[in-house]
Structure 1
């Protein structure tokens, strides 16, 4: 019985399990806990605790492992896979037994920050260190996951945040961690509630463990959620059912996923190669997806409105026509936004729509004819860098930005196009800056690692980041301004950055860097995906991810020093990156050997 239904949410966190003792009748165990008790699965030892292979004779078949549990035929394969999580016993020491299945390593979520009053400060243990030691011995094996034991005292928010970038599959909450509300029913503290919500959002399943410790009022079916929350109904029967109902209540009170999040569910933590807009012509489906991003074009329209108003004062409205060039016009969304801006401000426009993709040009011609724009819009089928414009433009509009700002060669394209912009002309966007942020991203790292080659570790990927831990605030990397009137113009860049991991975070594993951008379209109109200033409800861009060949452990108080290069050659542009502190990594993608963007 899933905890509840949220629109678009089909994650595993909808299911709640219960930890049980060993039972030699698995169908009966499931009947009591799943069919009758309402839980979705059991976490149970599969081996009789009394089993001691060292005290028994070897079987005569020569396998070396005697039967230690009931037949697997007592349940169907689907029931085993969906309703049972097996726990190895302490005597499972043989290599054959240990290699039978994937492993959830059970880790206590210990409180280690400075405000802990119940732990000796000189003997603090960071549970993340326990996990990290084990996974490094296993070479970051992708079948190794975590089951966190959530205790009554939990670490700081920064310390907890590390786990959302690790391969956590389950959170086990003992009944001792629950408080008692005014009606005698189980509830959790506000920090625990926030943590559980975070687990739900990251597809981490909850498992209830322990014996009931709350004496519930007899005859009542009205379970209070917590001291201040509204009530909800619970079904009596299973002794741990009140705890399940409370977990279900926390799930059900979460806000439904917004439409944008539902659309992006399938893209979460999925590595994609960035677009090559100069080398490759975009497909119709790509154009269609981008054209649906109403927020982006509203921002562009606002910027064009302000530029038109600055360009043409009110007293010259009737006698002035502004020349506006859309370079990289695609199938016309910026042409439409420009015409709507002209109508909104009462300005006259003459538009050149420049596009190199012949398929998009065909669509542009149809659009112009359909909308009756023939006297306003001139379509130019050409690469903007090669076109000889018949006149100079007042305003140059483009949407050439990538996830990292300049990674789809906006600087090179606009440098080539600015020759037909008037000396006092306006470029929209006028500037853009890339940002990077250190992240823990074990899933992304394992996905890259699975290719077993150098090329994939030296490639930057577009990805909808979800199961990641952001270890520090992002910092700016490269900035480009348009038009660029410098006589010594170069689009090569280098930046050294230092990040400080908050001291209460504890040690963390750095798997790579998330990349973002923020762009100024015109004056105070901006758009971007940098987390602290991201444009709400805009979906045209996901973040970019720069992986590290070897993950780096960053300890509290140690500096994280990073170097990024943007390199330019006659036919390509590429990025290089490395870490020099707390340890040295190789320079990734040296000379663009693995990944580049073609000019």
Structure 2
């Protein structure tokens, strides 16, 4: 991976910030983290004599020491470590509040892009209240909350003095308390500090679902290799690279511990780790820029797809190979080798789009040495232009493909099909109404005919992602109720998320559907178990589809079709974040509902708390028939 990572330098203080910044940039760092005010300047606001003396002293260095662009782009301001907004001593708390507002206001004056606060206590409600007060002002910088991966039971403060003020409980609990109290604000981010001791795998994964902006790496966690070069242990390397995959910035903190090399050796090593990361997978390459970006699911029955949308799907290197393989085996099984020259197989591609499945069918027939006749049925009149041009001009298509302009549910076929081929699957399997479409089309499939796909199952699992929750809660849906954004499914390339359990199957559909009468409504409850105390923000949706026999398409992480990128997962949010305890049960009930005009999902989290039914009667989201 060739992209460089942005690296900053964290300092306990700076007597000459202009020189400090110049030196850091000269060594290859792109920003510095420095205290806004000298850490030992403990102001007194309520002792009148002391306050009077301090009133005439400068609070800190002048804003003239740097130009505005440098303050904004190259400096992260750190709030004084002695400030304790949740002190049990009233005088300390009140004094801390005054100092906190003074420093944040000065950061606003400097137009800093972000400030950093060290979070040492789980009891941080007053800190959260004061932070929330400031972030309601758009001029306030983004706030980075500094939290270690594991607790530092005996920590050394900035000047080497022993500091026993940090609590030893789970740091994630501290962070989660503050973030939930601040309503999961997008302007509060994490600066996560790497520690010598590391959490277990589930503990690391839990942090990957949080809004981590920066990973702080102390020089104390580096070890010397055989060449006396500072490196990270193999376990620490994997953790750092896991967060690099989330596009975090890196901050080097601590003094120069390995004097045999220059300080910027730490920086060079971090860039080396970045360069050693695996090359992007096809899905990572294809989805670049769309990570954690909420998109409305397609509704191809109601809306005609645009040319660009077809083009994106047609670039998938895997999907059509698997379809071609399935069609090849279906044709070969349908017609024996003895009948190959005399028996014609009728293949109907329903929802043909711009024809990739038609081409896949023709290639499969050529490979199988079988005779086929293909019908391409499509309702999108714009896509029909492409199909008719191919039927007239393409040598493979000419004379073998009949293009039909019709909705598959209403078309009256002149003959019946041996094989019915479709690509009507959505991110959640049935959410683009494949069941309703194929049930309508199966009347022109022979009694012993084959449907490709022959079945598909939606999968579900709970996830934690403050980022997706914040995006959903701020989604504006016209003519809908205020919380409709949290009752609407989205298609999203999941990145900054933590899946709390393995996905489990939800709804299954088979084709052809021999049920009488046909009923595509569904109702099912599913339970999961969270390995760590976590916060639930919603559910991830996937699908597994059997095309023919043992040939399948899957977006389920454990069985994902390697290299396939046609579908991003679905995200189904819940109305509010819910904390689940370690090894706690998460239960949810899902319904697939239907009216003569629409299909919609309803869902209800029932454990650890009951949040009520989401999207009742499809009042936030429906799929039009």
- TM-score, structure 2 normalization: 0.85
- Correspondent of 2:567 among 526, 541, 556: 541
- Aligned partners of 2:393, 2:67: CA distance in 1, in Å? 61
Report the alpha carbon displacement of residue 455 of structure 1 after superposing the two structures with TM. Answer: 1.3
Q: In structure 2, which of residues 431, 441, 461 is the aligned counterpart of residue 417 of structure 1? A: 441
**1:478 corresponding residue in structure 2:** 507
Partner-residue secondary structure (3-state), 1:242: helix
Partner of 2:87: none
Cα distance in 1 between the residues matched to 2:283 and 2:542: 19
- Alignment deviations for residues 119-173 of structure 1 (CA, whole Å, 9 cap, x no partner): xxxx962111011111122121221111112111011011110111111111212
Match in the other structure for 1:358:
381
Give 1:298's aligned residue: 321
Which of 482, 492, 504 pairs up with 1:463?
492
Partner Cα distance (1:262, 1:431) in 2: 29
Q: 1:260: how far off?
A: 4.2
Q: Assess if the C-alpha contact under 8 Å between 1:325 and 1:397 holds in 2.
A: yes
Q: Return closer, same or farther for 1:40/1:583 CA change in 2, 3 Å cut-off.
A: same
Contact 2:533–2:583 (CA under 8 A) maintained in structure 1: no
- The residue correspondences of 1:230-249 to structure 2 (distance < 5 A) are 237=262, 240-249=263-272
Match of residue 399, structure 1, among 397, 403, 423: 423
Partners of 1:303 and 1:583 in 2: CA distance:
44
Cα distance in structure 2, aligned partners of 1:403 and 1:335: 22
| Paired residue secondary structure (1:536) | coil
| Cα distance in structure 1, aligned partners of 2:316 and 2:215 | 37
Secondary structure of residue in 2 paired with 1:86: strand
Q: Is this contact kept in 1: 2:291–2:494, CA < 8 A?
A: yes
TM-score, scaled to structure 1: 0.89
| Equivalent pair of 1:111/1:153 in contact (CA under 8 Å) | no
The alpha-carbon deviation at position 16 of structure 1 amounts to: 1.2
Contact 2:391–2:399 (CA under 8 A) maintained in structure 1: no
Aligned partner of 1:443 in structure 2 is 467
Shift of 1:67: 5.4
**367-376 vs 103-112, greater mean Cα deviation:** 103-112
Taking the TM superposition and a 5 Å limit, the aligned residue runs for 1:435-584 are 435-451=459-475, 453-502=482-531, 506-584=532-610
How big is the shift at 1:188?
A: 1.5
Check whether the contact 1:111–1:154 (CA below 8 A) recurs between aligned residues.
no
CA distance in 2, matches of 1:67, 1:306: 81
Matching of residue 27 in structure 1 with residue 9 in structure 2 = no
Given that 1:24 and 1:69 are in contact with CA atoms closer than 8 Å, whether structure 2 keeps it comes out as no
Structure 1 gaps, min length 5: 1-5, 113-122, 217-235
Q: Distance in 2 between matches of 1:325 and 1:67?
A: 81
Question: Retained in 2: the 8 A contact 1:18–1:42?
Answer: yes
Counterpart selection for 2:145 from 83, 92, 105? 105
Q: 1:297 & 1:21 partners in 2: Cα distance?
A: 57
CA contact (8 A) 1:565 1:577 kept: yes
CA distance in 2, matches of 1:259, 1:482: 31
Rounded to whole Å, the distance in 2 between the matches of 1:67 and 1:270 is: 45
Q: Tell which deviates more after alignment, 404-413 or 66-75.
A: 66-75
Give the match for residue 229 of structure 1: none
Instruction: Give the distance between the partners of 1:474 and 1:66, measured in 2 at CA.
Output: 61
Aligned to 1:383: 407
From 69, 82, 93, give the equivalent of 2:97.
Answer: 93
Q: How many angstroms apart in 1 are the aligned matches of 2:421 and 2:97? A: 67
Q: Deviations over 1:73-105 (max 9, x none)?
A: 432333223211110113463263343432111
Q: Report the equivalent of 1:232.
A: none
Three-state SS of the structure 1 residue aligned to 2:558 is: coil
Of structures 1 and 2, the one scoring higher in RCO (CA 8 A, sep 6+) is: 1
Structure-2 separation of matches of 1:454 and 1:484? 37
Structure 1's 484 and 181: CA in aligned 2 closer, same or farther, altered over 3 A?
same
Q: Deviations over 1:361-399 (max 9, x none)?
A: 111100111114342111110000000000111000000
Aligned to 2:307: 284
Q: Is the 8 A contact 1:199 1:205 kept in 2?
A: no
Range moving further from structure 2, 307-316 or 99-108? 99-108
Shift of 1:422: 0.4
1:75-224 aligned within 5 A: 75-89=66-80, 90-91=82-83, 93-94=97-98, 96-97=101-102, 98=104, 99=134, 100-110=140-150, 125-216=169-260
Q: Is the 8 A contact 1:458 1:588 kept in 2?
A: yes
**SS of aligned partner of 2:141:** coil
Q: Distance in 1 between matches of 2:67 and 2:514?
A: 72
Structure 1 stretches of at least 4 aligned residues deviating more than 6 Å after TM superposition: none
Deviation at 1:59, TM superposition (A): 9.8
Q: Distance in 2 between matches of 1:539 and 1:208?
A: 36
1:5-34 superposed Cα distances (whole Å, 9 cap, x missing partner): x34x47xxx111111122242211101222
Which of 4, 16, 32 aligns to 1:42? It is 32
- The secondary structure found in structure 2 opposite 1:273 is coil
Provide structure 2 residue ranges, at least 5 long, that are not aligned to the other structure: 84-95, 105-133, 135-139, 153-166, 477-481
Using the TM superposition, give the Cα deviation of residue 259 of structure 1 relative to its aligned residue in structure 2, in angstroms.
Answer: 5.0
Identify the match of residue 52 of structure 2 among 39, 57, 68: 57
Number of equivalent positions:
551
Checking the alignment, whether the CA contact within 8 Å between 2:33 and 2:78 is kept in structure 1 is yes
